[in-house]
Structure 1
Amino acid sequence: MTETPHSKTHLLAAQHADNPFSRPQTPHDLQIGFCGLGSMGYFMARNLAKQRNSPIFVWNRTKEKAESLKQELGPNKVIIADSLEEIAKECDVVFTNLANDTVVKQVFLTFAGALKATPGHKNKIFVETSTVYPTLAGELDDVISSNHAHLVMAPVFGAPPAADAAQLIVVMAGDYRSKKEIAHILIPAVGRKVIDLGGNLEKAPTFKLIGNSLILGSLEILAEAFTLGEKSGISQEQVQGLLKDLMPAPILVNYGAKMVHDAFDGEKGFAIDGGIKDAAHIRRLATDMNAPLPALDSAHQHLLTARALHQAQTLRGEQKYEKLDWSSIVAGARVSAGLDGFDSAKHSKVVPED
C-alpha cells in the first residue's frame, strides 16, 4: 500500500496519542535496572531487556526468578545484581515493581543509602511502577531526590497477560525531562500508551487507584449478577452470553469467563492479596476525600471472604490453587447466597420450565 501524506499525518497523530512526549535528545545508551520480578515485573523486565542493545541489571528477593529470566533471554540480555546497592550504583534508570508500600519504601531507603555512600555526578531516574498509596510518592521523593536523582511515579494498568504482551497502560507523573526519557523506554517495549498527569507525583498513584476502583467495582457487579442468575435458574453461561452481547469490554468478558469456569489461579492473574491491598488503599482514599464508595466496601468484604475460604481449604489440604486470582471475589457473593464458593458444579440447578 502506498503511504500518502494524509496517512502519515494519521500515523503521527496515533503515535502522539499513545506517547505524549517527543523523543528525547539524550543518547539511548542508559544502563537499565529492574527490581521485583513478580507476576508483573518478570514480564516487564523481560520485554525491556528484549528491546535493549545492552543487558539490563535485575534484582529479586529470591534469585530463582532472576535466574529464570537470565536463562530465558541469555547473559547478553540479563545481568543478575547481587544487591539493591549494586543496582543503585550501576544503573542510570531503575524500575521497581514490588508487592506493597512497606517493601517499596524499604527498597528506596536502601537505594538512598547506596547513593550517599558512593555519590556520583550523573543524575539517575528511579521509576516506581507498583500500586501504592499516593502519599508514599512524596516520601519516596524526599528519600531519593537529594542524591542526584529524580523520581517518576509510573503505575501500570493491565493484568499479567497484558504485561506479557507489552500492552500495559502507563500512568506517569514527575519531572518532565525524566518522564520523556522513561516514556520512550517503556513505549512500545512494555506498554501501548502513556497517560501524563503532570508534575505532582501523587497524581499517578491516585489515578491508578481510581482506575482499579473501576475494575474492582465491575468485578463485584459481575459476581453479584452471576450469583443472582444461579439462584434464579439462569446459568452463568447464559449471563456471560448476555455480558458479551450487552457490554463486550474485554476486561469484563475475560473476568466473567474466570468466574463461570471457576478459574481462580492467582499464578496466572492478579493475586487476591494484591486485590485486597488495593481495595484497602481505595477505601482509604475515599475516606480521605469524603467520597463514599459502597460498591468497593462490598467488594472488599467479598475478597476477604474468598481469602478466608481459601485459607480454610489450604489448612485441610483441599485447595485447588496455591494462590487465588481476585476474580474469586465471586466466592464471597456465592457464599452469601448459600452457594459453594469455589465449585459451581455443586450448585443446585433449577430446571427452567418449557
Structure 2
Amino acid sequence: MSDVLLSPKDKKDTLPYSRPATPDHGHRVGVYGLGAIGYHVAKNLANSLSSLPLVVYNRTVAKSEKLAKELGPNKVSIVQSPAELVDSCDIIFTILANDEVVKSAYKQFYQALQATPSGTVKIFVESSTIYPTVAGELDNLISSVSHARFITCPVFGAPAVAAKGLLIAAMSGDYRSKKEVAYLLVPAVAQKVIDLGGNVEKGSAPTFKLFGNSLILGTMEAMAESLTLAEKAGVDSSVALTLLNDLFPAPIMTGYADKMAHDRFDGTQGFSIDGGIKDASHIRRLTSELNSPMPLIDIAHQHMLTARAGHISNTLQGTAKYETLDWSALVSGVRVTAGLAATGSGSHTGVVLDE
C-alpha cells in the first residue's frame, strides 16, 4: 500500500462523515488482537488518546506486556479477558487471525454484555478479514443487545504502513458509530476511510476487503510467474526488477517484487502465508457463489499451498529460515512448478539458447 499521505484538499473523501459530537474522543477504547497489524494499530491509537489509556487484550499476554513497556502505564492498560475488555470499554476493536477466532471472541463479548448490561452505547469494530456472511452473523448477535452496535472496518496496508499510520480503512454498519470510529482512526491510524454503507454483509466492507486483496494477490501471482520466466531465461533479477519498477512504479508492487527477487519471506514482518491462503479461500468461495471466475486466484492459491508445504517440510528437517512465510513466498511455488529450486533466486542457471 502506498505510504504517501493523501492531499489535504481531499478531506471530504478522506473522512466521509461530519465531525461527531465528541471530537475529543472521550471514550474508553480497547483493542483485542496484537498481531502484525494489530500491534501498530494499538500503538498508534494509544499515542493519539488524550486522556484515558488504551485498554488491550491479547491471548499471548507477552505482546500486551511488550506494548505496555514500550509506551508506559499512562498509555496502555492490560486486561485479562475479553469480558473485562467489554466491561472496561466503550469502543472495542478486534483484529484477529481468522473467522473462527473472531466468532469465538464475539461469543465471549455477547456473554459479557448479557452478564453485565450497559446503560451506555458500546461500539464493536471488527477489523479482521472475514467472510461477509460471518459479519452478518456477528451483527445479528451483537445488535440483539440493547446499547450495543457493530460495524466492520477492515484495513489495507502492510505492517510497515500500519506503523506509519497510513492504512486505508473501509467501513460498513451503523452510521453514527462509523462517524465516531472514523475520527478515532484518522489521522492516527489511517490516512483514509471509505464508506461502504449500512449493510455489513452485502456490498459491504468485508466484501470490499476481499476485492482489494484479490487485486494484490493476482498482481503478485503475475509478477511471480514473470520473474520466474525471466530467471529461467537467464535475465539477471536486478535487471528484471529495474524494468518492473520503471513500468509499474507502485510501492505495493515493487515491494513484493523485491521480496520475491531476494527471497525475503519473513512472515513476521509482513502478511503470513496462512493469512494469504485463508483470504484466497474466501475470495474463491465468493467467486463460486457469484459465478464470477478468477482463475489467477485459483492458481495463486495452489502456489501458496505448495510454498507452505515446502516450508513445513523444511521446518521438520530443521532447515527453515523463517518461523512463518510471507505470502509473497508463493513465488517459490511457481519456481517449483517451473523446475527450479523453491529458493535461491539469482543462483539458478538460465536456459542457454542456440544461436
| Aligned residues: CA RMSD | 1.5
Q: Aligned AA for 1:138?
A: G
- After superposition, the C-alpha distances for 1:197-226 in whole angstroms (9 at most, x for unaligned) are 110112100000000000000000000000
Q: Is 1:25 matched with 2:21?
A: yes
Partner of 2:300: 299
Find the aligned partners of 1:11 and 1:226 in 2 and give their Cα distance: 34
Higher relative contact order (CA 8 A, sep 6+): 2
* Local SS of the residue matching 1:152: strand
Equivalent residue for 1:99, pick from 97, 100, 111: 97
Aligned partner of 1:311: which letter?
I
Kept after mapping to 1: 8 A contact 2:234/2:349: no
Whole-angstrom distance in 1 between the partners of 2:8 and 2:250:
27
Counterpart CA distance in 2 for 1:351 and 1:269 is: 36
Q: Secondary structure of 1:120's partner?
A: coil
Q: 1:229, 1:171 → 2: CA distance?
A: 37
* Alignment match, 1:3: none
Which residue identity is paired with 2:242?
G
Does structure 2 retain, via aligned residues, the 8 Å contact 1:340–1:346? no
Tell me if structure 2 keeps the 8 A contact 1:171–1:208.
yes
1:346 Cα offset (Å): 3.8
Structure 1 residue 73: deviation in Å?
Answer: 0.2
Give the aligned residue type for 2:90: D
Is the contact made by 1:233 and 1:352 (CA closer than 8 Å) also made in structure 2? no
Give the aligned partner of residue 253 of structure 2: 252
Q: Deviation at 1:12?
A: 6.2
* AA at the equivalent of 1:171: A
Question: Structure 1: which amino acid aligns with 2:46?
Answer: A
| Structure 1 position 128, deviation (Å) | 0.3
Q: CA deviation at 1:349?
A: 3.7
Partner of 1:278: 279
- Structure 2-normalised TM-score? 0.95
Q: Are 2:36 and 1:35 equivalent residues in the alignment? A: no
Structure 2 unpaired stretches of 5+: 1-5
Aligned to 1:192: 191
The equivalent of 1:5 in structure 2 is: none
CA distance in 2 between partners of 1:113 and 1:218 (Å)? 42
Structure 1 residue 74, shift from structure 2 partner: 0.1
Q: Deviations over 1:245-298 (max 9, x none)?
A: 111111000000001111001111100000000000000000010000000000
Q: CA deviation at 1:352?
A: 8.6
Shift of 1:344: 1.8
Alignment CA distance shift 1:125-1:309 (3 Å) = same
Q: Which amino acid aligns with 2:187?
A: P
Distance 1:353 1:72 in 2: 61
Matched residue of 1:182: which SS? helix
Q: Secondary structure at the match of 1:258?
A: helix
Q: CA deviation at 1:232?
A: 1.1
The correspondence of residues 14-163 of structure 1 with structure 2, limited to 5 A, is 14-26=10-22, 28-53=25-50, 54-147=52-145, 148-163=147-162
TM-superposition CA deviations, 1:4-63 (whole Å, max 9, x none): xxxxxx976422121111110136210000000001100000000000022011000010
Q: Deviations over 1:94-125 (max 9, x none)?
A: 00000000010110010010010010111110
CA separation of 1:64/1:125 partners in 2, compared to 1, >3 Å: closer, same or farther?
same
Match in the other structure for 2:3: none
> How do 1:329-340 residues align onto structure 2 when only pairs under 5 Å count?
329-340=330-341
Contact 1:275 1:326 in 2 (8 A): yes
Query: Hey, what's the Cα distance between the residues in 1 that align with 2:40 and 2:354?
Result: 49
SS at match of 1:344: coil
- Give the distance between the partners of 2:353 and 2:218, measured in 1 at CA: 30
1:33 and 1:91 in contact (8 A); partners too: yes
CA distance in 2, matches of 1:224, 1:339: 12
**TM-aligned CA distance change 1:244 to 1:353, over 3 Å:** farther
Distance 1:12 1:299 in 2: 37
In 2, the alpha carbon distance for the partners of 1:178 and 1:353 equals: 67
Residue 231 of structure 2 contacts residue 346 of structure 2 at CA under 8 Å; is this kept in 1?
no
Structure 1 Cα separation of the partners of residues 299 and 8 of structure 2: 44
Corresponding residue SS for 1:127: strand
What one-letter code is carried by the residue in structure 2 that aligns with 1:52? L
The letter of the residue matching 2:298 is D
Alpha-carbon offset, residue 351 of structure 1: 6.9
The SS at the match of 1:194 is strand
Q: Say how many residue pairs are matched.
A: 345
Change (3 A) 1:230 1:12: closer
